[in-house]
Amino acid sequence: MLRNFKQLSFIFLITVLFTACSIKEPIVIPKESDIAELSKKANDNFLDQNRATNDYFTKYFKPWDSSKVSYPKIEAMWGQSYKFKKVYLENHRLATEEWFKKQIENSNFDEYNVLPKKAIMLKNANVRVLPTNSPMFYDPTKPGEGFPFDYNQNSLIKINTPIIVSHLSKDRAWAYMESSTVGGWVEIGSIAFVDDNFIKEFKTTNYYVSVKEKFPIYDPIFREYVKVATIFPKKDDKFLIAKKDDNQKAIISYINLNIDEVEAMPIAYTSENRVKILNQLLEEPYGWGGLLNNRDCSSFTQDFFVPFGKYLHRNSKSQTSNGKYLDMSKMSIKEKKEFMKEYGVPFSTLVYLKGHIMLYVGIKDNEPLVVHNIWSVRLKDSSGRKYRNIIGKATITTLEPGKELKDFDEDNNILRRVLGITVL
């Protein structure tokens, strides 16, 4: 009898736990017809695409036109400030003073910009804050901390990206580099050094951009899963990537790509193309700083616009400077909705709140809608316990995702926290 009681108690406990963790997602609009209808209301002429694309490539190739990494040394060393914080490593144990001392010593910043070299990315690679693959978490026991929020993950950089390298770590396993959008540490095996002859051959002035997400390329063996917004120079009927020789010098390699994978850049900013690119990005898993070859909120908005020739900065706050910023911080929730309806331009307006950015796509059922790659919605139960509803992907929501959930926390309503919009 006691045994049966224990079994029933166990089953009841498991049922409660699974019920507590089973939270429906915020409202989304998964139908392609809905997205297409919204896209038709966008302004096809908001962007001078030829001018924007010329500006994009000026920035894209800037590392090869530079003589050194542009950041002041003290700015490049910003990640070392984590030594003053409580940081947990992959084993959920606190990083020690000795651990930080080892990373800082290996960073070798005495050699910063002493002998800079131009280079190129051979693969998609993580850009790290410190020269190590060890993650750095804040308290992993708290909601919204731990995986995927690895604070040693600065960004993801794509194959074929031009970079300039300041110096190598002491163990020569890492290179501190700068691209057109990001700076930090990449593993030495992910780059090759370029010379003037390589640069001249690579800059064909005939550039194509990937319009398909995570398709494989081969040279002749597998090289990478290519992400939307990856750039490929074209020569004759072949596309260019780099590979390295035994001295880690870059040499040109020619590959084949399918017609559904890349298109001449910029692609026309039409309703059909907006839907095509958006459908490639929707449902992709959330990746803090590009972790696991995925996207976070700002790389989502950034990569959406690249095929059209529009350059955006890498992080959410910086992207507010890529157009006309309109402040909404003093408005009520109702006023913000009305403001969005009046001044938001579908598919060319960014919606900003601290730490997050979204793309406004129009109105349905009198609600402003956004598309964004989002990790979670913050909730609070009747006892005051805070927890997260994990979304963990790129999706379309209202400006108040999670409002239909029982434990919706009005204090953490995303719309309440919206600070402004940027019309690109």
> What is the structure's pLDDT at 6?
41
> What is the structure's pLDDT at 32?
62
Q: Is the peptide bond prior to 148 cis by the omega test (within 30 degrees of 0)?
A: yes
* DSSP line for 279-290: HHHTTPBB-GGG
Q: How many residues does the chain have?
A: 424
> What is the structure's pLDDT at 4?
45
> What is the structure's pLDDT at 15?
36
DSSP state letter for 413: -
Full-prediction pTM beyond 0.95?
no
So where are the chain's domains?
24-47+269-423, 50-264
> What is the structure's pLDDT at 208?
98
> What is the structure's pLDDT at 378?
92
Q: Which residues contact 346 (CB under 8 A, 6 or more apart)?
A: 38, 39, 41, 42, 43, 360, 361, 362
> What is the structure's pLDDT at 20?
37
Beta bridge partners of 206: none
Sign of CA dihedral 158, 160, 161, 164: positive
> What is the structure's pLDDT at 34?
82
> What is the structure's pLDDT at 31?
61
> What is the structure's pLDDT at 27?
52
The third-level CATH classification (topology) of the domain covering 24-47+269-423 is: endopeptidase fold (from Nostoc punctiforme) (3.90.1720)
Strands 250-255 and 231-235 come out as unpaired
Stretches where the chain sits below pLDDT 70 are: 1-32
Alpha carbon distance 152, 131 (integer Å): 9
- Rg (the chain; Cα; Å): 23
Alpha carbon distance 339, 326 (integer Å): 10
**Block residue for tokens 């579908």:** 346
- Distances in Å between the alpha carbon of 128 and those of 19, 21, 125, 172, 313? 38, 32, 9, 15, 18
> What is the structure's pLDDT at 35?
87
- Distances in Å between the alpha carbon of 271 and those of 1, 246, 344? 67, 47, 17
